[in-house]
Each structure stands twice: as structure tokens, then as C-alpha cells.
Structure 1
Amino acid sequence: MTYTATIRRTRPLECLILPSLLLLLTMGWSRVVMGTGVVGNFIKINITVVLPEGGNRTKTIDTDENSLKTFGITREELSSALIYTNANGEVSEVVMGERHIPLHLEPVRDSSYTSYSFGTVDGGFWSVSASNFTNITIHDLEDDETLEAVEVSLDWSLPPLAQPNPADVTLTSALLEAAIYLDNTTLVRQKVSGRVAIGKWVQMVPYAGVYLQVLNPHTHLTTLAAYFNTQDYFIDRELVHTLTNLMPGRLAFLTSYYDTSGRLGASSRDTLTSLGSFAARYLTFGDCWSWAWRVGGATLAEGLVTNPHGVMSHPPPLNLEVPVSPSPPSERLCESWPLSWNKRQHFCDMYDGYGDLCSCSAPFTLPANATGTGEELGVVVVAGSRARYLFRLLRQLLTQPGVALHQVLVSIDGGYEETIKLVDLLGLRWRVHNPEGKGSPRISRHMRFALYHGVQLLATNKFIILEDDLILAPDFYSYMQQTAVLLDKDPSLFAVSAYAHFSFRHTAHDPTRLYRVHSLPAYGWMVKRSFLEETLPKWPPVFVATDWDYWMGCGLVRRGRELVIPEVSRTSHAGLSGTHFSGFVTQKRFSNKPLSDDPNTRVNLTTVNREVYEIELKELLSRAKPLNISDPYNFTFPSEPGEVYAVCVKMHFQGDDKTFKVLADALKIWSQDPRDHHYGLWRLPYHRATLLIIATPYSKYSKNYLKQQCPVLSVNGALYAHMLDNYNDENYNFLRHSPLDFLTIMNLNLDSRAQFEHHLMEHSVSHDVTSGEANNETSSHISTLLGDKTVITSTLDEDKTVYTSTPGEDKTVYTSTPAEDKTIYTSTAEDRTVYPSTPPEEKTVYTSTLAEDKTEYTR
């Protein structure tokens, strides 16, 4: 982009003269004097202009020293400032803190010299422009060693049977320790050195949760090892989903660490009870719990040590010993399966958690690979160690009409044998990437690898890209087939996405409607082969820390083109473990999003025609009623059916997003950043009305489109702080036993309960059975009365069959993989059930003693 300076002389108003900054571009033009006053010496300064389509443009200018002094700025300050344009690429001022300095530049666009800067892993910047790639094509990547697939040899033989010797399993559950031992072998052990003080604070310690080990009773090998961080949201659902998809006959061992109850919902407790647990329904804060059972059969043993006084006490540790004996070898394999299913026999013997993929009576099978109607699309799936997530996705994808199995490629980031074997037994193509970097760079480089091999291996003109932790709507593939024609007909589009960030239950109602937006693709998207061929040679190197999707949304990649998104999403993000996600993030950003449920939905392609789309927007703007808002959190947004409302928010450039974030947060929609807009305008079907959010003055629609004056919302620091507070996980479900809980847990009869209540009355002990609160005197009496009955052990072996598992010669010791957020939360625990987090003045320092084998496993 080339700029020319516009001469603006400020007119005096009475005695007031507003100076202008004297700027001249050194592009061969003659010098022109601007502003008022005495002209001093000219000096050269490099200024950086942020362009409306993204990226930066650096230019050398001449400026007058006296002008700098007039505005009280230095050469260095101006040189380091970012100068932002509006949507039309115009510059009217430089904003430096509270100072607004007039500066007028008229742009002449030259995108080949526009530079884009991205953060690097060492804290620096990687700057690049289209001119860096003028002589590079995708064929230049053929000799790139980082794009070479890793050779993997798979062994499909069955592991040998274990010796038929009796064995003992020991489960430990304690305040700061969880462990599962098989004879002299440690299956899992998590121990934190430190202490948790007794008091009014609920201290949240690292690694708290549930540890699961599943054993094959015939080989004594671990088929599933998982850690569930039960301090996080939705983890109880993942725990239940995992347990309900275990293969019948397996030996399952579960033990808790510190606290399991906080996020364990009522429905999850009911499911655990239906699977055979007696203690799941009674768990409260700090209880120690261990459970051993045969999947699909009886509980072998279960132990519970209650923590009767909540934060005012610590329970003693639980050590539960479970004797097991061998299972008949004849029950090892599914005899009804075809002989050709040798890979499935091996896979289901080695791994667990795949539901009917390993069902002997009703196994899952892929539909016949019949030729469907519509365009045949390539599908590239990026995957890693989360094989159970991947199976859920592939099952949904491969059962949709029209999907061609030979046009599906799964790219695996690392030699994860379980994932590779799953894809192989399903008969799909796969490639293994040798991981590069860590975190975001690793994900970005794997995406590059996957797209490159998709272009090389799949004979299609368009490609769908999926990640392994997505949920697909039943019309996902149909949606992609219908919208594929848009990429052929409209060169102003670069991709189609199946996901809309602003698609929530109160802002998305019509599954047939599509939108044009300036944004980045996410959670299931489609591009043409030609787009990948032009984009892959520009891909950021491994030292760039920026996420790949943000890079794909920049002007260097989009080149002024737009993205098509649906009003109602066709995908949902469902992963709770990963580089960028946790249960809290899922709860905050993804829990209230609708998913199309009609497999026969026909989308309206006409409305995203560029001319038709513009006409419709102008019509909506012409009848929009501007809203005057000062505090979005205390404003009732109208939602009259058929009405159109406009909210103008202060935004000088796309990064000037504080006001937008506050408004979006108040509307309970996506508020992380201002993506999915059309030239700075967001169109939301708010309930049954239409709400237009207009970035002012950034959006081209902020001038001369609305018939009525639109008050501009600008938030203060307090409102922005309130928005940030909403991203803090401040609540934790603190559950506490009532004084008589042990009677219910031990299934004592009413007479025993009456005797106990009479005993309390005789000793004048006050208690509140309903609220679960008791005074200190009550606590001391109950401690005496409970005695050793706080340790409950249940041996429920109705079929009289005792199962065993003895260690093989070579066993893997698993250690937990904690959540990324190591924040220690605390909450007051007085008279409420849900307590806000308040960190104490002194933090307990915990050190983790991990098992020697650092094998990583995921949920």
C-alpha cells in the first residue's frame, strides 16, 4: 500500500489554533509544508500503518521537528506507534495514549508490499508480505523433509495369555495421594507433597480427580488408563461416557484423589449407581473413594471414607484390597466375528472405551461405500493421541450419505499406535507426522503436513478439514456438498465453514441461512485445491507462535476474500482435553450452541450472492432503530418479532475491541474477539428480532447507512473489568455431609436412626439435618459416635465369580497428565452450597512426585 499526504491547514477558531503534524512521504515527491507555525528541520521516521484487511505497512516519512515538539512527542514514540486505518484504509489521526494527533494519509493499495507480523516463540516477531512468495509454488515443498511421512510398522498379533495365578489389586485413595497396584506393579500413582490446612477455605489442589485403570483379565494388560480432573466442568460426563463404553468382562479400577464431588452432577451419579457403585450418590467434599468392578457384571469391592466435617477435617486414607482370580480363556475373543476381523480382534483385546466397535453381539460396521449424489469431496482429519475422540468423529462422518471412504485421509501427529490401528482397521488412509515444536507451533505444523498430504493423495477439487474432537450435525456433509458450488462461482470467497462463532440458541434459528464474513475458518471448513496450493508455500515456520487459524484469517491468506458461515452451526467442539481447551472453556463458550438436527436441510445459496447480500443489508440498516446504551449489563435488549435494532460500538480498528467484547458478553455471545463480521458489522437474529452491531467508525456501514442517529457505546474500565471477571471460574460446588448421612450410607433401619436422634437429644446436641450444618459440639459428638464406621467396604459378588489380573513381565506405569491451568483455587465455606473463589494470602506449595514412566495418556 502506497500513501500520499493530504495538505490540511487548520483554521483558527477565535484565538485557538489546532496544529497539525507535518508529514511528508519520501517517495520522490516534493516536500509540502502542512500545519501552522515555523517549520523546523525535516527528519526521517519509519511509521507502521495497520491495514483494514489485516497486516502492517511500513513507510518512511519526513516530518518537521517543530511539529513533534508542538504535540509533545518524540521521534522514537512516533516510530514505535501503530497507526490504524478505518475500513476504507484511510488515516485521520494518530492516537498515543490520551493524545489524538491529526494525520491524514490517502492510501493507494498495493497488497504485495503489505507486511504482516506474527509473534514467535522467543518473544520476537516474524514479518512477511506477499512479495516474499512471488517465486514459490507448492512444488517447491517436495523436498521438504518436515513433510515426509513417518514409516510405521503395525503388529496385529494377539498378546499372550497371562499365567493363571491369583493376584491382588490395591487401591489407595487419600487426601493427597491416589494409587492402584497390581501385586508388585504400580499401575498408577499420583502423590503431591505438601499439606492442606484445616479451616474456612476450600483449597483446590493440583491433580485432584479420579484415576481409572482398565485391565484385560486374560492378558493382565492395561487397556485404558485415564485421569479425570473433576475440578473442571463437564468432566463427569466424560467419565460416565468412558465407563459406559468399556468392553464387557473387563476389570475396572477407579480411585479418587482429594475431591471427586465438586463437578459430579446428579445424572452422572445416577449412571455410576446403575453401573454398580453404592457410594457415588453420597460423595461429598474430601471423601476418599475407591471402586473395583467387572464391566457389565458385579462390583468386586468398593470403599468409602467419609469426611464428616467438610473443610474442618481431613479424612483418614482408604486402602482397599481386592483379591482377583483368573478368567476362562474361552471368553477372551468374540467367537461370532468373521475370521477377516483379525485386526478388530486385536484392537479390542488391546484397547478399551470404544463401545459397540468391540461389541460381540451387535458390532458397529461401516455402511457400504456406495456412490452418493453431489460432488465428491476430500476429507482431511487431523488427529493425535485422542483415539476415542477420533472414533466418535469418524463414526459420525462415515455414516453420512455421500462420504467416499477412499477420499478420507487421517493425519496423525506422532506415532500413537492406538490411533493408527483404529484408523487402519476402519480401512482409511493415514499418514503419520513427525511432530515439530510444542503447543500452537506443533498444531500449526501438523495442519500444514495434513493439508499437503491431502493435496497429494486425494483426487478431489475441494477439501473438508476436520479435527478429531468435533461433533458433526447429521447434515454436515450435505451442507458442505451444497455450499461447494459457491467456491466455484464466487471468486470473492475463499472458504466455507460449518461453524459460526455467534451461533447461540438465542441468536441462531434458521438452518437454511448463510452469511458472508471477514473471519477465519474453524471447526470444520472447506477450501478448493487451488487455495491450498497458493497458501501452503506461505505457511509460517515452526518458530511462529501464532495459531494457524489466526494466520489463515489474515489478509496475506484471505487477500480480501470472505468466508461463508451458517446461521446454525453444523459442528460443535466437544473436546475437554487439548492445548487450548478445558471444561470451563467449553462451558463458557460452547455449552449454549445449537446444532442442526435435520439431515435433509436445504440451505439458501442465493442470499450470499455478493450483490444480493449488500442489498439486503442496506434494507435492514434503513429501518433499524438505534439503541442508546450506557451499561450493556443493565440494559434490556428489545426482541420484538420482525423489528430491526442497531447498536453502534466504538471501534477505530479491529483490534480496538474492548467495547465490542463488553457488549458481546452482555448479550451472552462470543466475546473473545471480534471475528465473523462483514466490514465491521455483525448481524444477529436476536430471539425473534434482528440486531445489527456496527463498529464505529471502523465499519463502512457506520456512515450514511442508518436513517437515524446512532449513539455510540463506549465502555469504561469498570465495565471492562466486569467482563474480564466473567472469564474467571469463581464457583465450586462444595457439598457437605449432614450428621445423619452415615446412617443412610450404611443402610441402617429407621429404629437405628431414631435411637441416634434420641442420643443426640439426650446430650442436647443441636443439628440441622436438612442443611447439613452442625455446630462444633455436634461435630465432636458425631466423631465419637461414628467410630470406625466411617470406612465402608462393600463386597458385592452375587455371581460368586472372582476375577483376577496378574502382572506381566513388562508393565507400563502411567502417571496423570494434569490440566494446563495450575491455579490453586480457594473458596469460603460457611453457609452456602456454591462458593466464590477467593485466594488466601498464603499459598500452599505443592510438589508432584510422579511415576518414573512419563507415558502420556488422555481422556
Structure 2
Amino acid sequence: MRQGTTRHKSENEVLSFKSRMWFRGIITAHVFLAHLTLQGAYAFSISRDSIWIESHSSMRGWGVDVGQCSSAKGHTKQSRAGCGERPPFFNRKWYLSSGVTKEVHAPQPGEGMVLLVFNQRNARLLLHKVFPLGHYWFFWSDFQWYIKNIAPGRLVVLTISVSGTLGLRHTTAMLAKLGSVLAQHLTLQAHWSWIFIKGGRTISETAVVTNLNNIQQHSALPLCSLSELGLGNSSSIEQSRWQYCATEGAMGELCDEHSPLPLPVPFPPSLGSEAATALANIPVILTAGSRHQYLRHTLTVLLSTPGIQLVDLFVILGDAPPPTIKLLYLLNVSYTILPVSGNYNNKLFTYYRNVYEYVAENFAKAPAVIFLDEDVEVSPDFFSYMSQTLWLLKADPSIYCINAFSATGFRELSYHPSRLFRGSVQVEWGYAISLNFIKEALSIWPKESHGIKVILYDYFLYTFVSKERECVFPEVGRSFHYGAGTNTMANLITMERAFLNKTLLQDFGVKLSNVDRLSLAHWKEELQHNISQATVLVGNPCKDNLVTESLNSTQGHSLLVFYHHLDTTEENGIEVPDVTQYYHLYSCFGAWSLSEQGQHKGVGILSLATNVTLYIVGVPYSPYSNLKPNWVPLWDVNSIPEEEFIIVDDNMLHRGEFTVHVPNLNMTTTRLISKLSGL
């Protein structure tokens, strides 16, 4: 195969790798020799048909052209020139308007890491997605998720549009394992393009690490000559699977030709008769739309979860593009389509109202309903957890939802899979509610979002429908929100902290502790007892030795309590605890600090270690304020001395969690050449 060419403005600033052969390890470098470390090399026979790919990366934007040269038409040269004037069958570009400054700037829509996935047999475009990795927070996880779910053997093109290295973060190690030489060494201003086979070989990799120069590379390569899977004696479902996979990218094990997901999905283990009785006639509603890559993952995990009953699983679609419909057919999952209109949160607000209406009309006699979204992964213990807690919705009118998502379950605060809490919290990702609550919500839920302040449907339910009722949630989560959606850009640090830093339990059949103690009367009694028996913490909550000193003085006492000043403020016409008075306090302990959610009547409960539970009591807001001994000083962030507030404001206990680490600040072409050549 002819080695491609690389065109660029400043050749001594460009690092370029080309493979003379698609799958054999003969790697030459434009500037120096290097060997690519590759894992799981993917090999198959080569056809005489070939394609050419041109990729472009610059501060102005990106571009990729792909065209095919067919031996059947007499084209024997494997290059773009060999195709004559035949237009490309894929051409996609995005550029900023002229006059844009050539300095690193705040990302704009369309900028970031461009991912293109092609069918290795016919070079058909299967997936095109841009990840805004000019942003440091959160999007690295979504980018990593998609890369992991690309099937081995696919032809992949990555190229940077304007800026897209700052947010790569953890993914650089994964890209290096896939064969990239340069990914871990890219600077903040680098432009980079990499063409490779997932699980196979690099076709071409080129980068400019300084001076904001643009790069443009050209490669020609043969196509795979193996026939499409699903032909011959395959079953109809297998034929449908591989026809689907021939047109879709990032579909994980469903489209993995080496280790495909069995269809139908094998039935998971039973949870036993008691759990089956508790879950009988409980519909599981999965809301979904056009993000079929997420839906595939969520559904295949759900269908493998002990306790699932396919007859009770229903997908309710808003958007219903063909890839989503075909996926549901492959997985044999029932669905219905509801009309949707509007954009963004306005669209979601009316969509979820329509979902609730549909459920109320079609499952009127259900004891409860479980709701999930298309980008929520459940724990193997999900249905076991639900089977042990659903009865509380009927038994205790002060409880309106059972959440599988943990409001407080950050990794460093999750130790007890059997432990449950109750508190003021909205329905979260994977929840159960009663039909009575659904009907109550519909009675005040506007058909349109115009004229109301709250248009996030879950926060609307919390603010206007819950009426001081609470939800049950586990210390260790039974669900995990992994996807990027409509509201991702609102606060990326919060998205990363609230979603990605949560634990998802991987066991199943966990026996929950003292579920009956979650009824309001018992919960109050237990809280009063534990708080009154707890060792009082006094001092600055951001001091690194506050907790350890108290534990040392009490021989590792398992119960601690901290009292702080807490008043109320008005929000949407409702009195709520003043976030400005507890924000710093909860941040000091590494807990959720942006709202009262997760607290019970002004009391936060945190597991600081396997044997240490901390109760945080807000005085005078909390009805448990009377438990504060008279001798205990009340900590008030608004009145502490300046030297104490500096400690709180710096919050060195958790500062590292919110620090931006910019990689390769001192990297130059010369240093990179030296590093990679071992000099």
C-alpha cells in the first residue's frame, strides 16, 4: 500500500506516524522511528477496493473527506488522485467565522474532539459526534464511554476542532493503550489527528504541539474483503442484528463480532419468591429517545439484572428515530411513542407529563411504578433493593419516593451497602413512586411550561408536589447516571462531582438493615437517640484534624455530631434552609453542599468511615435543635473570625477535587522527539 503524505505549514513542528501496511507493525515516522504498543490486534483479509481519508485540524475548525476507489471501475492507484474527479461519499467540515483570535479561548459549540467511526468493509459513516473537550470537566467521561463502546475492527478518525486537549484527562491513558503515540503528550494548544483501527493498528497520527499551526493529513487504505455477518444460515434475529450493526457505531457488545451479546439476552438469576411477590405487577418504565447508544447499554444491563421481568418492562419514546426502534426490536422490548414538541427543558417538561399521563391511564392498578432514563445504569442489586423498600410507599404517607440513586453516596462517603436513609430529596435516576403521587402531580402539572419558574420536571415535583414528604435512598447507590444530556453544560463541576463520583454497588441480593425503621415515627426516635448519644465536635470543620482528634479522645466512637447555625430563606415561595449558611460546612466534609437535598429536617447524615457516622444539625431550623447541650458553641460561618474563615474558604481537605491540572505545559516538539525516541 502506498504511504500517504502529510501537508502542514511548518514541517519541523509536526510529528507524523504512518503505517506502510494496515495491520503489520512496520511503522515509520516522518521525523523519527517509533514502535506502537498495541493490544488485541484485529486482523482480517484485505480487498483491492480502497478508500482515501483526509483529515484537518486547526484553530479554525476541522474537516474530514472520505472517498472510495473501486477496483471494479479500473482504479488501481490507492490514492485520491486515483479516483479521478469522483466526489467523496463523505465530506464534513466545521469552521469558525473569519477573524477569530488564534489564542486559546472559551469553547464554542462545534469545538472539541471530533469522533468519526466508519464501517471497515465499505467505509460507511456509522457515528459522528463532537465532544467539547475544551472544557475540563465531565466530558472526558462521555468521550471515554463512546470510545470503549466502539466495536473492534472499526475504522476510527479522531481530530481536534479548534481546541480539545484540555478535557482529555483520564482518556489519554486509554488512547495510548489503543495505540496512540502522541495522545498523552499533547499540549493545551495542540492540534492532532489520528486514524486507526479499534483494537488494531494506527494508519496515521499527526500532531502540532506548539505555535497553533494547522495540520492536514492524507491516507489511503484498502477495505476489508470479508462478507458482512448475518448471511447464510444465521437466524433471522442474527441477520437483523448484523444488518443493524453494519449501520451503527459505538453499540458495545451488541455489535462486537468476536464476543457478541447473546440474543435474546440470557435470563438473569431469580431473586426468590418473596422478592418476586414484592415486584409483581410493578411496571418498569424506561424513558428514551434518540440516544440509542446509551439506550443499548442501559437496556442490556437492565435485562441482565436479577429480578427483571420482561413482561413488566416498557420503553416510552419521545423522539423515535429508526435506530432506536430497530434496537428495541432486536432486544424484544415493548415500547410506545408519545408526541413531543418544544426544545430542551421545555420539551422534557411536557414529555414527562405525557409519560405520567400514559402510566396513569395504562397502569392504574399498579401498586407502584419504577422509572428509569436511557442513560442510567442499574446495579445488579437494583430489583432486590426495590423489592425490600417499595412497601414503604403505601405504609408511610410521609414518603413519596424510593430512590435507587444515592443522594449522599460519594465514593469517600459510601461504606454500608445495607444502610438506608430518608430525607428531603427529589426523584433521581432510578426511582419508584405510587399511582396516587402520579395522579396528584398531574392535577397541578401545567400542560405547558410557560409562566412557571421551575421547568425541570423532577425539581418541579420536589418543589410543588412533594409537600415536605421525603424519599428513601441507599448509602451505596443502586443506579448510576453516566450520560451527557440537556443540562450537562449548566455546571460541569457539579455534574462530575454529583454523578461520576458516586459508587454503584456490584453485588446483588443484599439484605437491607432495619427497613421498618425508616417509617417517620421510628426514624425520629432513632435520630434523637443517636444524636443525643453522639460525641460533639467543636471547632473548624475544615481543619484536617477535627474528626481525628475527637475519635482519638473517644477511642473511635462511632457517633459524632456537629451543630451549626441555620435559618431559612424563601425559594419559589417556599421556606427552605439557607444554603449560604451550610454550603461551606458540607463542602468541608466532602458532601453535597448546593442544596438541602439529602438532609432530613435540617439534619445531614454522613458516613466518614466504616465505623464513624456524623450527624450535622442546623440550629434553630431543625426540630432536633433542642438536643444541643447548652455548653456547645454554635458554629456560624458568618460570624467566625477572619483567620478561621480563611481556613474554610481554602478548604484544603477537598481543594484537589476542584483543581484544573493542565498537562504538558512545557512540552515542545524537540522534547517530545527526545522523549519518544528514548534519547
Which TM-score band (shorter chain)? 0.7 to 0.9
Establish whether residue 526 from structure 1 lines up as the match of residue 429 from structure 2. no
Task: Give the CA deviation at 1:442.
Answer: 1.9
What percentage of residue pairs aligned between the two structures are identical? Answer: 23
In the alignment, does 2:484 pair up with 1:579? no
How is 1:554-573 mapped onto 2 (pairs within 5 angstroms)?
554=463, 556-573=464-481
Partner of 2:218: 321
Q: Residues 730 and 335 (structure 1 numbering): CA distance in 2 closer, same or farther, change over 3 Å?
A: farther
The partner residue of 1:416 within 321, 337, 356 is 321
Find the aligned partners of 2:204 and 2:629 in 1 and give their Cα distance. 74
Decide which of 289, 296, 299 is 1:394's aligned counterpart: 299
Partners of 2:608 and 2:675 lie apart in 1 by 49
Residue 737 (structure 1) aligned with residue 640 (structure 2): no
CA contact (8 A) 2:191 2:212 kept: no
Whether the 8 Å CA contact 2:179–2:201 is kept in 1: the answer is: yes
Q: 1:285 to 1:682 in 2, by over 3 A?
A: closer
Q: Does 1:676 align with 2:598?
A: yes
1:693 to 613, 616, 621: 616
Counterpart pick for 2:266 among 345, 367, 381 = 367
**Distance in 2 separating the partners of 1:314 and 1:560:** 55
CA contact (8 A) 2:400 2:471 kept: yes
The one-letter code matched in structure 2 to 1:540 is P
CA deviations 1:668-704 (Å, max 9, x no partner) are 110111112222222223333332222222221113x
Does the 8 Å contact 2:606/2:613 carry over to 1? yes
For the 8 Å contact 1:646–1:710, the answer to whether it is kept is no
**What does 1:375-390 align with in structure 2 at a 5 Å threshold?**
375-376=279-280, 377-390=282-295
Whether the 8 Å CA contact 1:263–1:733 is kept in 2: the answer is no
Q: Which amino acid aligns with 1:407?
A: D
Matched, 1:178 2:62: yes
Matched, 1:588 2:477: no
Counterpart residue identity of residue 680, structure 1: G
Q: What is the DSSP-based 3-state SS (H/G/I as helix, E as strand, rest coil) of the residue aligned with 2:617?
A: strand
Partner of 2:252: 355
Aligned to 1:548: 457
Instruction: Check the 8 A contact 1:347/1:421 in 2, yes or no.
Output: yes
Q: How does 1:697-736 map to 2 (within 5 A)?
A: 697-703=620-626, 705-716=627-638, 722=649, 731-735=660-664, 736=666
Write the deviation string for residues 450-487 of structure 1: whole angstroms up to 9, x where unpaired. 23323444574221111222232220111011111222
1:399 is displaced (CA, Å) by 0.6
Cα 1:446–1:182 shift into 2, 3 Å: same
What CA distance in whole angstroms lies between the structure 1 residues aligned with 2:432 and 2:59? 49
- Counterpart of 2:401 in structure 1 is 495
Could you state the TM-score of these two structures normalised by the residue count of structure 2? 0.77
Q: Distance in 2 between matches of 1:463 and 1:745?
A: 58
Residue 611 of structure 1 corresponds to which residue in structure 2?
521
Deviation at 1:223, TM superposition (A): 0.7
Change (3 A) 1:545 1:190: farther
SS in 2 for 1:531: helix
CA contact (8 A) 1:334 1:360 kept: no
| CA drift at 1:716 | 3.2
State the aligned residue count: 575
**Secondary structure at 2:160 match in 1:** strand
Distance 1:213 1:600, change over 3 A: same
* 1:486 equivalent among 382, 392, 403: 392
Q: 1:447 aligns with which of 332, 352, 359?
A: 352
In the TM superposition, what is the alpha-carbon distance from 1:261 to its structure 2 partner? 3.3
Q: Following TM superposition, by how much is the alpha carbon of 1:579 offset from its aligned partner in structure 2, in angstroms?
A: 1.8
**335-344 or 377-386: bigger deviation:** 335-344
Q: Would the aligned equivalents of 2:107 and 2:132 in 1 still touch at CA under 8 Å?
A: no
The residue aligned with 2:80 is none
Q: Does 1:306 align with 2:209?
A: yes
Q: 1:538 to 1:234 in 2, by over 3 A?
A: closer
CA distance in 1, matches of 2:234, 2:173: 33
Q: Which amino acid aligns with 2:181?
A: F
CA gap of 1:329–1:272, structure 2 versus 1, over 3 A, is same
Q: CA separation of 1:357/1:612 partners in 2, compared to 1, >3 Å: closer, same or farther? A: same
Distance across 2 between alignment mates of 1:464 and 1:723: 42
In the alignment, the residues of structure 2 paired with residue 593 and residue 361 of structure 1 have an alpha-carbon distance, to the nearest angstrom, of: 32
Q: Where does residue 312 of structure 2 map in the other structure?
A: 407
Q: Radius of gyration: which is bigger?
A: 1
| Shift, 1:202, TM fit | 5.2
Question: Helix, strand or coil for the counterpart of 2:62?
Answer: strand
Judge conservation of contact 1:624–1:645 (CA < 8 Å) in 2: yes
Q: Answer yes or no: is the 8 Å Cα contact 2:368–2:433 preserved in 1.
A: yes
Measured at CA, do residues 613 and 583 of structure 1 come closer, stay the same or move farther in structure 2, by a change above 3 Å?
Answer: same
User: 1:564 is paired with a residue of what secondary structure?
Assistant: strand
Distance 1:182 1:387 in 2: 25
Answer yes or no: is 1:643 the counterpart of 2:567.
no
Question: Counterpart of 2:522 in structure 1: which amino acid?
Answer: V
- Taking the aligned partners of 2:254 and 2:630, their CA distance within structure 1 comes to 61
What residue in structure 2 maps to residue 286 of structure 1? Answer: 189
Amino acid at match of 1:741: R
Q: Give the whole-Å Cα distance in 2 for the aligned partners of 1:237 and 1:433.
A: 31
- Distance in 1 separating the partners of 2:458 and 2:578: 20
Residue type matched to 1:733 in 2?
V
Question: Retained in 1: the 8 A contact 2:114–2:131?
Answer: yes
CA distance in 2, matches of 1:249, 1:513: 44
* Mapped partners of 2:353, 2:338: distance in 1: 10
Offset, 1:245: 2.6
What's the offset of the Cα at 1:230?
Answer: 1.9
1:138 paired residue number:
none
Unpaired runs of at least 5, structure 1? 1-162, 308-312, 754-859
Q: Which residue of 1 aligns with 2:176?
A: 273
Q: CA offset at residue 348 of structure 1?
A: 0.7
Q: CA deviation at 1:601?
A: 0.7
1:600 counterpart (496, 509, 513): 509
For residues 353 and 221 of structure 1, the distance between their equivalents in structure 2, rounded to whole angstroms, comes to 14
Which residue identity does 2:563 align to in structure 1?
Answer: V
Deviations 1:349-400 (A, max 9, x none): 1101112101234321312388763223211112232222222211221111
* 1:506 to partner: Cα distance: 3.8
Partners of 2:376 and 2:479 within 8 A in 1 = yes
Q: 2:11: which partner in 1? A: none
1:291 CA displacement: 1.8
Equivalent residue, structure 1, for 2:52? 168
Against the structure 1 CA distance between its residues 425 and 583, is the aligned structure 2 distance closer, same or farther, given a 3 Å change threshold? farther
Tell me whether 1:188 sits opposite 2:72 in the alignment. Answer: no
Question: Residues 336, 244 of structure 1: CA spacing in aligned structure 2 closer, same or farther, 3 A cutoff?
Answer: farther
Rounded to whole Å, the distance in 2 between the matches of 1:669 and 1:566 is: 15
Per-residue displacement from partner, 1:509-540 (whole Å, max 9, x unpaired)?
Answer: 22212222233221111112232233223223
Partner of 1:297: 200
Cα pair distance change 1:330/1:649, threshold 3 Å:
same
Give the secondary-structure state (helix, strand or coil) at the position aligned to 1:479: helix
* Aligned counterpart in structure 2 of residue 244 of structure 1, from 130, 148, 151: 148
What is the TM-score when the length of structure 1 is the normalising length?
Answer: 0.62
Distance 2:268 2:360 in 1: 22
Q: Distance in 2 between matches of 1:693 and 1:742?
A: 51
Secondary structure in 1 matching 2:446: coil
Q: What RMSD in Å do the two structures reach over aligned CA positions?
A: 3.2
Are residues 742 and 221 of structure 1, via their aligned partners in 2, closer, same or farther at CA, if it must alter by over 3 Å?
same
1:210 to 105, 109, 113: 113
Q: Aligned in 2, Cα 1:573/1:708: closer, same or farther, shift over 3 Å?
A: farther
Once the 2 structures are TM-superposed, how far is the Cα of residue 572 of structure 1 from its aligned partner? 2.1
1:300-355: per-residue Cα shift (whole Å, max 9, x none)?
A: 22222332xxxxx332x211112244443624546674233343222211101112
User: Which residue number corresponds to residue 380 of structure 2?
Assistant: 474
Cα distance in 1 for residues equivalent to 2:197 and 2:413: 46
Q: Distance in 1 between matches of 2:658 and 2:417?
A: 33
